[in-house]
């Protein structure tokens, strides 16, 4: 009887040793910097995970209608991974309303949300930055840069007081030293508002201008 009583615990102990261990999936969540944004602000959030698996997190950002971005892979290297947006919210791209950030990581999913509300903020569209970079590298003329300002920048920031057309676009003059101002804005040493004020001042003082004879023809 003693032998039988000792055999059963041994068998049970062995069976527990060889049973496959049950592993929980790594958890994932999103920590929002804030849940309300307005135009000209940049989205910022943190992806938090319970462990680093070597797999990327997959992000989708969508609006209330379900329209959203293609998948965005984010390499996870820490338990908390800050995700700053490089592009500010622009009126031409992002309609007002509620947005959702969906994240999937190693089998776990999480959704955070934020609201984009109306405000008096006015910013320079990111597309203008590319024109400025082209101009700084002498790949487009002065006139094409000013034309971009006229087409894409709100007149409350930069108002070009003359019409730009095929006849005068190559006659517009911007002093070469103004490139310093452009570099300061590109490197974020100047804000959108400060950059716009400088450009508006140069236009008002005819430092950025059309030749006088062409202004008289308009």
Q: Report which DSSP code applies to 68.
A: B
What six digits make up the tokens of 45? 């959030």
Contacts 24+ apart (CB under 8 A), 146-151: 146/172, 146/174, 146/208, 149/199
- What digits encode the pLDDT tens for the residues 118-166? 988 888 988 899 999 999 999 999 999 999 999 999 999 999 998 999 9
**What is the value of pTM for the model shown?**
0.69
Helix, strand, coil proportions of the chain in percent (round to 5)? 30, 25, 45
- What digits encode the pLDDT tens for the residues 178-208? 999 999 999 989 999 999 999 999 999 999 9
| Cβ atoms of 170 and 141 closer than 8 Å | yes
CA atoms within 13 A on the CB side of 211: 8
Please, what's the b/e burial string for 202-211 (b: 16 or more CB within 10 A of its CB; e: otherwise)? bbeeeebbbe
pLDDT at 109: 96
- What digits encode the pLDDT tens for the residues 65-103? 988 889 999 999 999 999 999 888 988 889 999 999 999
| Maximal C-alpha separation, the chain | 118
Go through the domains of the chain in sequence order and give each one's CATH number.
28-117 (2.60.40.1930), 126-217 (no CATH)
What is the bridge-based pairing of β-strands 108-117 and 72-74?
Answer: unpaired
Contacts 24+ apart (CB under 8 A), 65-73: 68/100
Q: Output the CA torsion sign for 214, 208, 89, 127.
A: positive
pLDDT at 68: 86
Q: Is 103 exposed, middle or buried (0-12, 13-18, 19+ CB in 10 A)?
A: buried
For the chain, what is the mean pLDDT? 87
Pick the more confident residue, 6 or 114.
114
d(CA 156, CA 159): 7
Coil, strand or helix at 182: helix
d(CA 191, CA 172): 25
pLDDT at 66: 87
């Amino acid at each position: 009887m003693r032998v039988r009583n000792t055999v059963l615990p041994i068998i049970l102990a062995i069976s527990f040793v060889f049973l496959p261990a049950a592993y929980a999936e790594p958890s994932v969540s999103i920590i929002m910097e804030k849940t309300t944004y307005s135009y000209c602000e940049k989205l910022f959030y943190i992806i938090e995970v319970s462990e680093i698996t070597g797999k990327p997190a997959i992000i989708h950002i969508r609006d209330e209608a379900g329209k959203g971005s293609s998948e965005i892979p984010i390499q996870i290297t820490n338990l908390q991974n800050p995700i700053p947006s490089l592009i500010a919210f622009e009126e031409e791209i992002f309609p007002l309303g509620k947005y959702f950030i969906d994240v999937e990581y190693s089998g776990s999913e999480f959704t955070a949300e934020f609201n984009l509300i109306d405000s008096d903020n006015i910013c320079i569209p990111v597309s203008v930055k590319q024109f400025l970079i082209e101009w700084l590298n002498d790949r487009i003329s002065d006139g094409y840069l000013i034309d971009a300002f006229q087409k894409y920048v709100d007149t409350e920031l930069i108002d070009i007081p003359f019409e730009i057309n095929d006849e005068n676009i190559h006659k517009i003059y911007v002093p070469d030293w103004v490139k310093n101002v452009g570099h300061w804005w590109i490197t974020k040493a100047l804000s959108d508002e400060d950059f716009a004020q400088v450009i508006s001042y140069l236009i008002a003082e005819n430092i950025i201008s059309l030749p006088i004879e062409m202004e008289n023809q308009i």
